[in-house]
Amino acid sequence: MVLKNFFNKTKYEKKIAEESVNLEVIPSHIAIIMDGNGRWAKKRAMPRIAGHHEGMKTVRKIARVADDLGVKVLTLYAFSTENWKRPKSEVEFLMSLPEKFLNDFLPEIMERNIRVQMIGEKEGLPEHTKKALNKALEKTKNNTGLILNFAMNYGSRAEIVNAIKKMMIDVQEGTLNFDSITEETMNQYLMTSHLPEPDLLIRTSGEVRLSNFMLWQLAYTEFWFTDTLWPDFNEETFLEAIQAYQKRNRRYGGLKGEEIN
């Protein structure tokens, strides 16, 4: 596999060689719970919003390296349905970030052939946030490279409940046979129906829980946790997570040939 052209290519190639990262076994779909922005700011006696602003820069860095490595889908947990409980000023700042991020990064997104997508309840977002997201979704809809998928106003339990409700409606209307419902049927009713399930989940800041994120989709995903706070998460840490993934033995509940004997 040949790395795409990108910034600091020599540094990446050196890191890949040193860490024995196999460019032929890159996870197709990586999901990240971006955690620790507030603690990063607190450690520096700064307001929490400063941590969120710094975390936005990390999103750009990781999107670039994921694209460079040939990752197909990068899903970022940007704002959960539970995050509305945070102070109003913090929520308002978080809702302003998509507009700033996408306006600043969109030219490079287009240059890189990245497609922006979103999972979550868009209708619950402020108008200016929806406008920025809709602009990026429309502008990049024909791009064929990395899918940069933002989970905004997203909660997995609500997603599952809504999927079941839609299936019940279809059963009542006769467009879905109750006896034919399978796990694959469920997949088709989720917000991620058009995406492969994540191969690797990364969570930063030392927390080791899923926080209502992709509970169905992560059934056989490899998890990787780090104490690194999201604003400090960089390309090298990302490669470290991929290297750890490549050392895992993914059996999906079965056994590999050498384990059966």
Binding site members:
35-40, 48, 52, 80-82, 84, 86, 203, 209-211, 222
The CA angle 99-64-202, to the nearest 5 degrees, is: 90
The residue annotated as part of the active site, out of 5, 8, 22, 35, is 35
Q: Which of 67, 83, 149, 153 is catalytic?
A: 83
**In degrees, to the nearest 5, what angle opens at C-alpha 132 toward C-alphas 210 and 93?**
60
Rounded-to-integer distance, Cα 72 and Cα 66, Å: 8
Q: Binding site for Mg(2+): which residues? A: 35, 222
Residue type, 17: A
- Burial classification of residue 27, based on how many CB atoms lie within 10 Å of its CB (0-12 exposed, 13-18 middle, 19 or more buried): buried
Q: Residue 29 half-sphere exposure, CB side, CA atoms within 13 Å?
A: 16
Question: Is 35 an active-site residue?
Answer: yes
Show binding-site residues for substrate.
36-40, 48, 52, 80-82, 84, 86, 203, 209-211
Question: Is 83 considered catalytic here?
Answer: yes
As annotated, the active-site residues are: 35, 83
